[in-house]
Structure formats: structure tokens, C-alpha cells
């Protein structure tokens, strides 16, 4: 995309998507029953559902008009390679990550809350977060620095980690940044968002699996 006006238009579109996403989070944070939603474990599912319902159609509209952020296809070798890299990253992080109280608070409810939280985290969040960060944010940076892929991926990853304000520990922020770098390169290598979406879902499913296993194992005993 060499035309200056096209780059400006696409940059504004990418920035606009980020503003829309951030506006949703602000609106939810100002709800009168926000505290009750948080304590009941329903805040995250509601937020993810709204962000998914807004960003997914906007991404569909964008793809109908432009071809710069496609879904693309996933090659088996790429999926296998990045899945192994993801597993290695998760294992390495297990040595220094600390338990976040926010996660425990959100999963302290009953079975309906746990299932809704799992649906939001494993299915909805990976889709709209990849659309936003590895899609529009990364693309907006690459428009102006196409030869600086690492710098663009790093900035995207730092922003991705910084936006997860619910987490308190520096170790979690570092882990999120490392995950995002892996997802950025999955998007760049595959040429689309489908591979990073699948990897993001796998990462979140692995992270949720102890909670789901613990709950259902207690339910059966």
C-alpha cells in the first residue's frame, strides 16, 4: 500500500477499531451494576459477548472491502510448529507465573458462571482480540514500517499486555507480551488471522483446564 492517502485511510480505520473496542470497555465499566456483575462472575462474559458482537461484524465488513487482514488458511505444519512453540512457552512460564486473584474471583461462582466464563475466554476473547491486536493494531503499524516487523510486533504486544488491566503481577504482563509476540509471528507467517485465533484458543483452553477439571471432579465426588 504505497499511496499515502490509502495508508492514512487504513490507519484511521485501524485506529477507529481500537477506539470502538476501548469505548465498549469504558461503557461496561460505568454500568450501575458493574460491581455486582464482577462479584457474580458475569462481567467478563458480558464484556466479551459485546466486544465479539461489535468487532466481528466490523471485521467482516472490512474484509468485504479490503484484503489486507484476511483469515487465510492454516497449514498443518504451521499449526504443529506454533502449537509446539506455544506449549514450550506455557511450560517455561509455569516456573515464574503467580496466581492472579482476579481469575480466582471470577471463577468462584457456580457451574453456570464457570461455563459462561470458559465460553468467553476460550471462544469469544481469542476471536475479537486477534481481530483487534494481531489484525488492526499490527496492520496499522505495518502500514508505516513494513520493514520493521519485529518492532511492530513488539509494540503490538506491549499494548496487548498493557490493556489487560485486570492483572496485577508483572510476570503476567511479561507472559502476555511473549504470547502476543508468538501470535504476531503466526499471523505474519501464515498471512492471516486464523492461525493466531486457533493458537489463542488453545492457550486459553490450557489455562482454563485446571479450573474446569477441578470443578467437575468435585461435582462427581
Per-residue pLDDT band at 166 (split at 50, 70, 90): confident
* pTM of this structure: 0.93
Per-residue pLDDT band at 184 (split at 50, 70, 90): very high
- Mean predicted lDDT score pLDDT of the chain: 89
pLDDT score recorded for residue 96: 86
Handedness of CA 61, 67, 69, 75 (dihedral sign): positive
pLDDT at 152 over 80: yes
pLDDT at 212 over 60: yes
pLDDT score recorded for residue 214: 72
119-123, 172-176, 215-219: segment of lowest average pLDDT: 215-219
Cβ atoms within 10 A of the Cβ of 13, count? 17
Residue matched to cell numbers 464457570: 114
In the chain, domain spans: 4-220
DSSP H stretches of helix in the chain: 4-29, 34-40, 43-65, 76-93, 101-106, 111-119, 125-129, 138-142, 149-162, 170-190, 194-220
pLDDT at 218 over 70: no
Residue 49: partners with Cβ closer than 8 Å, 6 or more residues away: 120, 124
pLDDT at 216 over 70: no
Amino acid at each position: 500500500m504505497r499511496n499515502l492517502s490509502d495508508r492514512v485511510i487504513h490507519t484511521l480505520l485501524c485506529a477507529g477499531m481500537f477506539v470502538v473496542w476501548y469505548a465498549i470497555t469504558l461503557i461496561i465499566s460505568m454500568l450501575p451494576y458493574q460491581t455486582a456483575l464482577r462479584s457474580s462472575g458475569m462481567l467478563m462474559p458480558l464484556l466479551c459477548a459485546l466486544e465479539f458482537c461489535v468487532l466481528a461484524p466490523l471485521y467482516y465488513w472490512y474484509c468485504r472491502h479490503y484484503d489486507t487482514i484476511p483469515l487465510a488458511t492454516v497449514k498443518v505444519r504451521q499449526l504443529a510448529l506454533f502449537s509446539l512453540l506455544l506449549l514450550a512457552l506455557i511450560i517455561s512460564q509455569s516456573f515464574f507465573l503467580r496466581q492472579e486473584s482476579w481469575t480466582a474471583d471470577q471463577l468462584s461462582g457456580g457451574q453456570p458462571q464457570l461455563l459462561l466464563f470458559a465460553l468467553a475466554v476460550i471462544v469469544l476473547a481469542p476471536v475479537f482480540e486477534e481481530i483487534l491486536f494481531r489484525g488492526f493494531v499490527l496492520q496499522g503499524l505495518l502500514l508505516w514500517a513494513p520493514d520493521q516487523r519485529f518492532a511492530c510486533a513488539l509494540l503490538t504486544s506491549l499494548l496487548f499486555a498493557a490493556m489487560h488491566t485486570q492483572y496485577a503481577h508483572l510476570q503476567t504482563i511479561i507472559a502476555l507480551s511473549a504470547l502476543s509476540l508468538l501470535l504476531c509471528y503466526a499471523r505474519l507467517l501464515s498471512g492471516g488471522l486464523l492461525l493466531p485465533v486457533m493458537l489463542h484458543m488453545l492457550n486459553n483452553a490450557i489455562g482454563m483446564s485446571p479450573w474446569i477439571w477441578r470443578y467437575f471432579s468435585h461435582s462427581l465426588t
